[in-house]
């Protein structure tokens, strides 16, 4: 039987090859009655491993024991029908096995589990395959990404996971390659360069498999890139279609009529800076509409004064775009942030669901973007159904449901002379961290961050985009911004907090919030036993009651967690898998992994298991961090110059204002502060280039490396004084 997409519908053939296992699953109201968790026997299939095909992907719900794709099914709800682990027994969840990861940057991938094999990607786009039951490592693949690529990876050298298809495992590598490796051996089957390697493009997202094609976008909208999404034949790597998200220079052959029209919403020579609009995270395929959806990021520069003097919507930045799966032809778009100036990417996870709205079941597309407004659209037409605040924000008062446009707060547009304090900050109310939706509770589980920041535009005449650095055209620190923060009732500077939130997308209201002890967002998963699983930045992995937010179980993981977990069964036993490791270590935690300074690991849990993580500190151990800067010897001018240069060249990786929030060192704690010579050997001579800290000799002007040094010493001394003033 064929459905209207031309695929076979859930076929008996799939069910027949399944080996039924023991633990039961819940009957879920909005889905087909769930079947028992199952595994496939690998040997009976034409592919030795990763034996995923269209029929199987479309029927992923009929295999609750498999986690076939990063979002589990095409809906990307990250909802598991498994109930083996439930509220009654979750307290007995323990560590079954773990695998030390040999990189010490951010780990963002969701484990994909097919036919008894568990696949992850790690920082630097490496892939590892394990026996999903025993944890035995099966193979590892390292695409050997040039570490200098890290310089144009805005937000760490991360990777969010693999796609599995007909015996192959697909990944997008940081350097812009799309790579297919054999699922059984990890040997490269084919690889292609999807980007111009002379341009500062990167890839960190999960490739998606759609109708025998692999779909992939890219990142780089802070660094003079132009966004696009491409589809390649999954068997051969031959390109099938490409959709550019912003127009190029007039007359460019890639400008479709749609892009010629979009160009009218821009001013000036915007194409000189690439335009931005990169689709760097979410890509969703919906078999019901046969559309592929993706969200686009910010324009370049952030400052509209520079990017498009005179304003305009700047299509299609900060938009959700739907294209026809077979051709990549435009179907509809919805621009969430016309003329965005605040780095409000709408690349955040998209998911489809069937929601009962005003008595009728609607097939919808949902998103909780950086802006803080939760959107529900008709998945087929893109018509806005509802939009409301899921987090505090000040940039707009509401979304006008008739026009779909935000009612902007005029105070948040900034120029060279006018500063603004904007909530949320570019970090976003919700960023890439996976959210989850349960058709049982009807709630979406969103990792939310509250933040604000100051913006002011650079003078347009001073804007000269440079290679391989942030070209946002903004300053984050200025007298005007400081004055705004000093006003009565102003938002607190750097006042960041985060929580896991349960949100009702039909009523558009917050149902519960589970606050984080230490700030930092972390991906989520929900199961049919009404458990929400998520890690945190205090070194814990926890299970929450999906209806109340009560914490029911928690285990130490010795690392910060940003990735989302997944769950699967092998021989009837349910496992929960999570990749941990990001920025530094949780407060008080020592290094216990000989291979990675941030204790990056794959952890797999099951009921009644009692494995332990190593407790003993290994060489290079850091127990928290100690602020021990030398006294400030630089002049006031140097500190001010250093602040500007740091903001432009270093903050993208090391954090705003010398406060790091990623897996890249917080320079205030750098041992190199103790000697300007070792500082210069790192910053100018590239002493750590093999670790991703390349030389800035060609970028920095004479004396700037030293000015930044003095600025960081001054920041470190300020932080130390604050620390000592604490009771
Ligand atoms: C593309 C990302 C990136 C940018 C931009 C960047 N760095 Fe780094 N930096 C790193 C990474 C990664 C490390 C850690 C290297 C290692 O593991 O040894 C690092 C380490 C350092 C260290 C050593 C810290 C320590 O704890 O020992 C110093 C000093 C440093 N960077 C200075 C700078 C300065 C100054 C700038 C701006 C001119 C800058 N970095 C820009 C990625 C970056």
Task: Decide: 111 and 580 in contact? Cβ < 8 Å.
Answer: no
User: Which atom of ligand 1 has the smallest separation from the CA of 708?
Assistant: 35
Phi, psi angles (nearest 5°) of residue 268: 70, -165
**Tens digits of residue pLDDT in 222-259:** 888 999 999 999 999 999 999 999 999 999 999 999 99
**What is the pLDDT, as a whole number, of residue 726?**
64
Q: Are residues 380 and 313 in the same domain?
A: yes
Asked, for residue 113, whether it belongs to a domain, the answer is yes
Closest CA to 394 of 295, 283, 484, 262: 484
Residue nearest to atom 1 of ligand 1 (CA): 151
Q: Please, what sign has the CA dihedral across residues 193, 195, 201, 204?
A: negative
Do 596 and 648 share a structural domain?
Answer: no
pLDDT higher at 400 or 155: 400
Residue 8, in any domain of the structure:
no
Asked if 574 and 668 sit in the same domain, the reply is no
Of ligand 1's listed atoms, the one at least distance from the Cα of 104 is 17
* CATH number, domain containing residue 591: 2.140.10.10
Q: Quick check: is 27 in a domain?
A: no
In contact, 370 and 393? CB cutoff 8 Å: no
CB distance 449 to 428 below 8 Å? yes
Residue 27 has what pLDDT?
A: 35
pLDDT 10s digits, 269-279: 999 888 999 99
Q: Is residue 615 part of a domain?
A: no
Average model confidence (pLDDT) across the chain: 89
Nearest atom of ligand 1 to the alpha carbon of 673: 29
- Is residue 577 domain-shared with residue 672, that is, in the same domain? no
- Token pair, residue 282, equals 């979410």
- Is residue 223 in contact with ligand 1, taking CB distance under 6 Å? no
Distance 594 CA to ligand 1 centre (A): 22
For ligand 1, whether the C-beta of 711 sits within 6 Å is no
| Ligand 1 within 6 A of CB of 664 | yes
Output b/e per residue, 148-182; b: 16+ Cβ within 10 A. bbbbbbbbbbbbbbbbbbbbbbbbbbbbbbbbbbb
Closest by Cα among 474, 470, 481 to 302: 474
Question: Do residues 659 and 550 both lie within one domain?
Answer: no
Integer CA distances (angstroms), 286 to 23, 322, 449, in order = 30, 10, 29
Does 694 contact ligand 1 (Cβ within 6 A)? no
CA 610 centroid distance within chain: 32
**For the chain, what percent of residues have pLDDT higher than 70?**
91
Find the domain containing 250 and state its range.
Answer: 90-607
Tell me the C-alpha distance between 343 and 455, whole Å. 11
For the chain, how many structural domains are there in total? 2
Q: Ligand 1: does its nearest atom lie under 6 Å from the Cβ of 651?
A: no
* C-alpha to C-alpha distance for 232 and 192, rounded to whole angstroms: 10
- The residue whose CB lies within 8 Å of the most ligand 1 atoms, and thus the one to mutate among 693, 708, 712, is 693
Residue 68 lies in a domain: no
Task: Report d(CA 230, CA 162) in Å as an integer.
Answer: 17
In angstroms, the CA 350 to CA 321 distance is: 11
pLDDT tens sequence across 437-476: 999 999 999 999 999 999 999 998 888 887 777 788 998 7
Please state, in angstroms and rounded to a whole number, the distance separating the CA atoms of residues 337 and 322. 17
Q: Are 652 and 662 in contact (CB under 8 A)?
A: no
* Residue 597 and residue 646 in one domain: no
- Asked whether residue 345 falls in the same domain as residue 391, the answer is yes
- Mean pLDDT in residue range 423-434: 95
Which is more confidently placed, 690 or 309? 309
Give residues with Cβ within 8 angstroms of 439, minimum separation 6: 28, 29, 30, 31, 77, 79, 353, 354
654 Cα: distance to centroid of ligand 1 (angstroms): 7
Q: Is 325's pLDDT higher than 70?
A: yes
**250 falls within a domain:** yes
Give the span between the Cα atoms of 198 and 204, in whole angstroms: 18
Ligand 1 within 6 A of CB of 217: no
Q: Is 480 exposed, middle or buried (0-12, 13-18, 19+ CB in 10 A)?
A: middle
| Residue 263 CA to ligand 1 centre (angstroms) | 38
Pair (582, 520) in one structural domain = yes
Residue 550's CB: how many other CB atoms inside 10 A?
Answer: 12
CB 682 near ligand 1, within 6 Å: yes
Higher pLDDT, 660 or 711: 711
Does the C-beta of 688 come closer than 6 Å to ligand 1?
yes
Whether 602 and 661 map to the same domain: the answer is no
Q: What's 640's domain CATH number?
A: 1.10.760.10
Residue bearing the CA closest to ligand 1, atom 13: 693
288/404 same-domain check: yes
CB atoms within 10 A of CB 61: 19
Ligand 1 centroid–CA 665 distance in Å is 7
Which residue among 468, 641, 653 is best mutated to probe the pocket of ligand 1, counting the most ligand atoms within 8 A of its Cβ? 653
- The residue that leads in pLDDT, 68 or 25, is 68
Same domain assignment for residues 533 and 656? no
Per residue in 343-394, pLDDT tens? Answer: 999 999 999 999 999 999 999 999 999 999 999 999 999 999 999 999 999 9
Catalytic residue among 61, 175, 343, 666: 343
| Measured CA distances, 517 to 372, 461, 547, 552, 586 (Å) | 21, 44, 21, 16, 11
Sorted by sequence, the CB contacts under 8 Å of residue 617 that are 6+ apart come out as 590, 591, 592, 623
Question: Taking the C-alpha atoms of 158, 164, 168 and 174 in order, what is their torsion angle to the nearest 10 degrees?
Answer: -20
Give 690 Cα–ligand 1 centroid separation in angstroms: 11
Centroid of ligand 1 to alpha carbon of 400 (angstroms):
44
Report the Cα 181 to chain-centroid distance in Å: 23
Which residue, judged by its Cα, is nearest atom 17 of ligand 1?
A: 691
**Sequence-distant (≥ 6) Cβ neighbours of residue 626 within 8 angstroms:** 669
Cis peptide before 301 (omega within 30 of 0): yes
Enter the tokens of residue 370: 């950086």
Residue nearest (by alpha carbon) to ligand 1 atom 8? 693
Cα(378)–Cα(361) distance, rounded to whole angstroms? 11
How many CB atoms sit inside 10 A of residue 703's CB? 12
- What ligand 1 atom has the least distance to the C-alpha of 152? 1
Which is it for the CA torsion 34, 31, 328, 157, positive or negative?
negative
Mutate to test the pocket of ligand 1, among 470, 665, 670, 671 (most ligand atoms within 8 A of CB): 665
127 alpha carbon – ligand 1 mean position (Å): 25
Q: Distance between CA 520 and CA 498 in Å, rounded?
A: 6
Whether residue 642 has its Cβ less than 6 Å from ligand 1: no
In a domain, 561, yes or no: yes
Task: Decide if 16 is inside a domain.
Answer: no
343 is catalytic: yes
The torsion of the CA quartet 155, 158, 161, 167, rounded to 10 degrees, works out to 130
Cβ of 151 less than 6 Å from ligand 1: yes
Is residue 41 within 8 A of residue 47, CB to CB? The reply is no
Please work out whether the CB of residue 671 comes within 6 Å of at least one atom of ligand 1: yes
Residue with tokens 């994909």: 112
**Residue 25: per-residue pLDDT:** 38
Q: How confident is the model at residue 41 (pLDDT cuts 50, 70, 90)?
A: very low
Other C-beta atoms closer than 10 Å to the C-beta of 650 total: 22
In angstroms, the CA 602 to CA 98 distance is 5
Residue 306 has pLDDT above 70, yes or no: yes
Same domain, 534 and 670: no
710 lines ligand 1 (CB under 6 A): no
The pLDDT tens digits for 591-630 are 899 898 899 999 999 999 999 999 988 865 454 467 889 9
Task: Give CA–CA dist 376/364, Å, rounded.
Answer: 6
Would you say 583 and 600 are in contact if contact means Cβ atoms under 8 Å apart?
no
Q: How many angstroms separate the alpha carbon of residue 683 from the centre of ligand 1?
A: 7
CA of 588 to the centre of ligand 1 (A): 23
């Amino acid at each position: 039987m064929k459905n209207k997409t031309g695929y076979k519908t859930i076929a008996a053939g799939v069910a027949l090859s399944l080996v039924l296992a023991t633990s039961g699953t819940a009957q879920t109201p909005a889905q087909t009655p769930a079947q028992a968790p199952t595994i496939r026997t690998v040997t009976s299939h034409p592919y030795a491993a990763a034996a995923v095909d269209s029929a199987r992907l479309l029927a992923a719900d009929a295999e609750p024991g498999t986690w076939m794709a990063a979002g589990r099914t095409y809906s990307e709800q990250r909802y598991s029908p498994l109930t083996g682990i439930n509220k009654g027994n979750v307290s007995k969840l323990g560590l079954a096995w773990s695998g030390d990861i040999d990189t010490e940057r951010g780990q963002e991938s969701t484990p994909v589990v097919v036919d008894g094999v568990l696949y992850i990607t790690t920082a630097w786009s490496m892939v590892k395959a394990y026996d999903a039951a025993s944890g035995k490592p099966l193979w590892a693949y390292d695409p050997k990404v040039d570490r200098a690529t890290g310089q144009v990876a805005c937000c760490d050298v991360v990777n969010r996971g693999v796609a599995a298809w007909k015996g192959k495992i697909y990944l997008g590598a940081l350097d812009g390659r799309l790579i297919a490796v054999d699922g059984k051996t990890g040997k490269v089957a084919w690889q292609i360069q999807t980007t111009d390697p002379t341009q500062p493009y990167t890839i960190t997202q999960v490739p998606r498999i759609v109708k025998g094609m692999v779909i992939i976008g890219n990142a780089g909208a802070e660094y003079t890139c132009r966004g696009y999404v491409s589809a390649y034949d999954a068997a051969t790597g031959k390109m099938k279609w490409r959709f550019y998200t912003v127009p190029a220079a007039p007359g460019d052959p890639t400008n479709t009529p749609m892009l010629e029209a979009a160009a009218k919403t821009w001013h000036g020579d915007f194409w000189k800076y690439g335009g931005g609009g990169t689709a760097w995270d979410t890509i969703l395929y919906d078999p019901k509409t046969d559309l592929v959806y993706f969200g686009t990021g910010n324009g370049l520069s952030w400052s509209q004064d520079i990017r498009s003097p005179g304003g305009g919507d700047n299509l299609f930045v900060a938009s959700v775009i739907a294209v026809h799966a077979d051709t990549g032809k435009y179907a509809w778009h919805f621009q969430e942030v016309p003329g965005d100036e605040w780095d409000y990417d709408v690349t955040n996870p998209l998911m489809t669901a069937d929601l009962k709205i005003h008595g009728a079941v609607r097939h919808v597309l949902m998103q909780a973007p950086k802006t803080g407004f939760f959107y529900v659209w008709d998945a087929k037409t893109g018509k806005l159904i509802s939009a409301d605040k899921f987090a505090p924000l000040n940039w707009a008062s509401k979304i006008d449901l008739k026009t779909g446009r935000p009612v902007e707060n005029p105070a948040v547009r900034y120029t060279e002379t006018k500063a603004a304090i904007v909530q949320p900050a570019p970090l976003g109310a919700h960023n890439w961290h996976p959210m989850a939706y349960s058709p049982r509770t009807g709630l979406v589980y969103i990792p939310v961050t509250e933040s604000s920041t100051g913006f002011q535009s650079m003078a347009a005449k001073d804007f000269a985009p440079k290679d391989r650095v942030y070209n946002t055209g903004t300053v984050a620190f200025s007298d005007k911004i400081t004055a705004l923060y000093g006003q009565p009732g102003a938002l607190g500077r750097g006042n960041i907090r985060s929580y896991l939130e349960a949100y009702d997308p039909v009523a558009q209201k917050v149902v519960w919030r589970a606050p984080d002890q230490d700030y930092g967002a972390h991906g989520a998963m929900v199961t049919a036993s009404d458990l929400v699983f998520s890690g945190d930045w205090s070194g814990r992995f926890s299970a929450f009651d999906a209806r109340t937010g009560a914490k029911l179980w928690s285990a130490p993981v010795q690392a910060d967690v940003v990735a989302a977990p997944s769950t699967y069964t092998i021989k009837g036993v349910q496992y929960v898998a999570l990749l941990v490791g990001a920025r530094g270590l949780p407060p008080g935690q020592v290094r216990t992994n000989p291979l990675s300074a941030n204790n990056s690991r794959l952890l797999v849990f099951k009921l009644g298991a009692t494995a332990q993580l190593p407790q003993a500190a290994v060489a290079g151990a850091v127990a928290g961090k100690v602020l021990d800067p030398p006294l400030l010897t630089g002049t006031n001018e140097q500190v001010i110059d250093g602040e500007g240069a740091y903001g432009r060249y270093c903050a993208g990786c090391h954090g705003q204002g010398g406060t790091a929030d990623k897996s890249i060192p917080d320079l205030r704690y750098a041992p190199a502060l103790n000697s300007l010579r070792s500082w210069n050997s790192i910053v100018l001579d590239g002493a750590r280039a093999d670790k991703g800290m390349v030389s800035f000799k060609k970028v920095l002007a004479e004396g700037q490396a030293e000015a930044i040094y003095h600025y960081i010493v001054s920041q470190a001394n300020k932080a130390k004084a604050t620390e000592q003033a604490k009771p």
